[in-house]
Amino acid sequence: MSHIRSKNTSLELYFRKLLSKDRLRGYRLHYKILGVPDIVFVSKKIAIFIDGDFWHGYNWKNLHKIPPKKYWQAKIERNIARDKRYTMQLKKEGWTVLRFWEHDVKKNPDRCIKKVKEAWKKHE
């Protein structure tokens, strides 16, 4: 488990290439605000999180992907609660928070980039 990266994952690198391709530049990586988002447009106050399906609990109970150990179940539940807390707090502070699931970035990258563009336009 210690070899699982939290920064500069292949998914993050892929997403950053998509942003660059669409000329969405000027972002900071792992900017030091609550939750340490993966990508932040500081001037626009847009925080982007790319959440792994397993670690952040994408529909895990309905998909029957519940880990066998109670420790991991509790860990995922804490991650879900923390993500909700951080999202609410950042929104209270005036940030636009975009959370993308791993599978969405892989299967629907254009839709994800479209959401970033929409948020970008709101802050122009």
Kindly tell me the sign of the dihedral angle through the C-alpha atoms of 116, 110, 10, 62: positive
User: What pLDDT does 2 receive?
Assistant: 43
DSSP E strands, the chain = 28-29, 39-41, 46-51, 96-101
Residue that the structure tokens 């399906």 belong to: 53
Per-residue pLDDT 10s for the chain (124 aa) are 444 556 778 899 999 999 999 999 899 988 889 999 999 999 999 999 999 887 777 776 665 666 667 887 888 889 999 999 999 999 999 999 999 999 999 999 999 999 999 999 987 7
Burial class (CB in 10 A: 0-12, 13-18, 19+), 122: exposed
Name the architecture of domain 10-122.
3-Layer(aba) Sandwich (3.40)
Burial class (CB in 10 A: 0-12, 13-18, 19+), 117: middle
User: What pLDDT does 54 receive?
Assistant: 77
User: Can you state the percent helix, strand and coil of the chain, rounding each to 5?
Assistant: 45, 15, 40
